[in-house]
Amino acid sequence: MHPDLILLNGNIITVSGGRAEALAVKDQKIIALGRNAQIKKLANENTKTLDLKGKTVLPGFVDAHTHLVGVGLKKTLYLDLSEARSLDEALERVREAAKARGKGNWVIGQGWDESRWPQKRYVTKRDLDRVAPQNPVAVVRVDGHMLTANSKALEAIKISAYPAEVDKENGLLREQAVSQFLQQLRPPLDELKRALNEAIKMAHSLGITSIHDIPSIDAFKAWQALRDELKLRVTLNVPIEQLDKFTELGFRTGFGDDWLKLGAVKIFSDGSIGAGNAALFEPYADRPGRGKLNYEQARLNELVQKAHKNGFQVMIHAIGDRAIQAALEALKAAGIDAEARARIEHFELPTPSQIEQMKKLGIIASMQPNFLQWSGPGQLYETRLGTKRDARIDPHRHVLEKGVKLAFGSDCMPIGPLYGIHLAVNAPYEIQKLSVEEAIRCYTLNAAFAAFEEKSKGSIEVGKLADLVVLSEDPQRAADRVKDIKVEMTFIGGERVF
Ligand SMILES: [Zn+2]
């Protein structure tokens, strides 16, 4: 049992308890952990040795909520608008892209965020018509819950089913209308594969070794097509619209292997705060209305029950307090207990009593600390919700203190665990703040737990997969600048992928 690889002279943070200096890997797994001298003794002439020179090692990060095809397409096919610092800059990029692609060809942009712009308003149809009158153009907001299309694009695409979600006047589409629109523009399989390969490279460079992906249905095909060469561990979560198809074929949560497996069924209970359609108990501060629930309670209950009965873990997207209440009621009505590990995604604006109910029902809070970029004085959440509600948004500390299992992900806004950990540690309000150690655990072991995988990953222990990340600095000694720490190496199953 000589190891394939040994790592020596490390500052290994195991997450499961304590630190170690060295470890040994054989057949993708960690077979020994301890002091240098102990581990050195296991090696023979076929063992590769790596001297870490005191560098910090963590378990590979598990991003518990991401959409990797979108990340990749932004690098390959789509126009990335996430860095635009004003509306004019975003429109200028659209103008250039339209020119480069030629008259009549599609321009699809992603990632615009009006809260970053001095104008503080959404892109409209007129804006896009002005800069690209000859091209169909569609630009998706950073949260994916909203899209602006120009006149040419609205002529080309049929949106039939969701009149309430279409503002023709301004070219603004929301929720299901967005998915219906984009469904008609899906790139071919080869493009999806190319996008995923780019996104996987990016994930490696950020220290991510596992993801819980929430793909559109054609992305399942792309992931499957990459299966044999896959260098990322992927849990695919099934959109509720596809549940019948999957259950008919006998699929359920857990099907697959250490590389590619089926996770939960995903149900949307509401929209987002940025798009102004997260469902709130009290009205928005900057617009009329309280947002919108996607389903009547009885229908949500029915969907949750159906997924649960058919052997699927359930994940419900719920951002506003009213949507969280609806999700909790549906999970309770379905008789779901802690064993089922149901998840509420985002869980941004819970009331204290809702956090207690999470604990009681054993539901996992799957949250995204990088959303804190929109919290604090003068930021988007304060504008939308008012100061009082902004000060109780994303309450990671309260969630942990109440004993609720908390898993972290990125929702690709943007992806990057160190960035998320940084924001959780340096959050604007006390109830949002975690210690570095707590935030790391949420992004590793707890995220693994949220996909029933805490026995095989999420910490550095003998018997677990050798998914590891080597950092330039110890985050526990650099709490105020975690986001500046560099990922130096990433290992998946003991193989160096970055
Ligand atoms: Zn998402």
Distance 145 CA to ligand 1 centre (A): 9
CA distance from start to end of the chain: 26
Asked if residue 19 has pLDDT above 80, the reply is yes
- pLDDT-derived band at 164 (thresholds 50, 70, 90) equals confident
pLDDT digits (tens, 9 = 90+) for 198-243: 999 999 999 999 999 999 888 999 999 999 999 999 999 999 999 9
Distance 9 CA to ligand 1 centre (A): 39
Distance 44 CA to ligand 1 centre (A): 46
Asked if residue 183 has pLDDT above 90, the reply is no
> The whole model's pTM is what?
0.93
Distance 286 CA to ligand 1 centre (A): 24
In this prediction, residues 253-265 reach a mean pLDDT of 97
What's the per-residue H, E or C state across 176-233? HHHHHHHHCCCCCHHHHHHHHHHHHHHHHHCCEEEEEECCCHHHHHHHHHHHHHCCCE
Residue 237's pLDDT is what? 98
Residue 254's pLDDT is what? 97
Cα 368 from Cα 405, distance rounded (Å): 14
Distance 413 CA to ligand 1 centre (A): 9
In this prediction, residues 86-97 reach a mean pLDDT of 96
Asked if residue 175 has pLDDT above 90, the reply is no
Distance 444 CA to ligand 1 centre (A): 19
Structure tokens at 284: 């928005």
pLDDT digits (tens, 9 = 90+) for 425-444: 999 999 999 999 999 999 99
In this prediction, residues 24-48 reach a mean pLDDT of 97
Residue 169's pLDDT is what? 93
Asked if residue 27 has pLDDT above 90, the reply is yes
| Neighbouring-strand partners of residue 492 | 495
Residue 161's pLDDT is what? 73
Cα 273 from Cα 164, distance rounded (Å): 18
Residue 159's pLDDT is what? 85
Distance 146 CA to ligand 1 centre (A): 13
Cα 416 from Cα 409, distance rounded (Å): 9
Residue 465's pLDDT is what? 98
Distance 412 CA to ligand 1 centre (A): 8
Residue 425's pLDDT is what? 98
- The residue behind tokens 């020119």 is 99
Number of CB atoms found within 10 A of residue 349's CB: 26
Cα 445 from Cα 223, distance rounded (Å): 24
Asked if residue 1 has pLDDT above 80, the reply is no
C-beta separation of 180 from 32 below 8 A: no
Distance 66 CA to ligand 1 centre (A): 6
The secondary element (H helix, E strand) that includes residue 419 is: helix 417-425
Distance 263 CA to ligand 1 centre (A): 15
Residue 361's pLDDT is what? 97
Distance 271 CA to ligand 1 centre (A): 10
pLDDT digits (tens, 9 = 90+) for 102-129: 999 999 999 999 999 999 999 999 999 9
Distance 409 CA to ligand 1 centre (A): 9
Distance 214 CA to ligand 1 centre (A): 7
Distance 302 CA to ligand 1 centre (A): 22
- pLDDT-derived band at 150 (thresholds 50, 70, 90) equals very high
Asked if residue 327 has pLDDT above 80, the reply is yes
In this prediction, residues 349-362 reach a mean pLDDT of 98
- pLDDT-derived band at 163 (thresholds 50, 70, 90) equals confident
Residue 483's pLDDT is what? 97
Residue 47's pLDDT is what? 97
Residue 29's pLDDT is what? 98
Structure tokens at 165: 């979600």
Query: Residue 97 class from Cβ within 10 Å (0-12 exposed, 13-18 middle, 19+ buried)?
Result: buried
What whole-number percentage of the chain has pLDDT above 90? 94
Distance 215 CA to ligand 1 centre (A): 9
What whole-number percentage of the chain has pLDDT above 70? 100
Distance 267 CA to ligand 1 centre (A): 11
C-beta separation of 234 from 223 below 8 A: yes
Distance 266 CA to ligand 1 centre (A): 10
Distance 65 CA to ligand 1 centre (A): 6
Distance 69 CA to ligand 1 centre (A): 12
Distance 410 CA to ligand 1 centre (A): 8
Q: Comparing C-alpha atoms, which of 21, 23, 41 is closest to residue 32?
A: 23
Distance 141 CA to ligand 1 centre (A): 12
In this prediction, residues 5-29 reach a mean pLDDT of 97
- pLDDT-derived band at 484 (thresholds 50, 70, 90) equals very high
Mean of pLDDT over the chain: 96
Q: Residue ranges of the alpha helices (H) in 227-291?
A: 243-248
Q: Residue ranges of the alpha helices (H) in 310-394?
A: 321-333, 352-361, 380-385, 387-390
Q: Dihedrals φ, ψ of 269, to 5°?
A: -95, -35
74 vs 312, higher pLDDT: 312
Distance 53 CA to ligand 1 centre (A): 38
The secondary element (H helix, E strand) that includes residue 488 is: strand 487-492
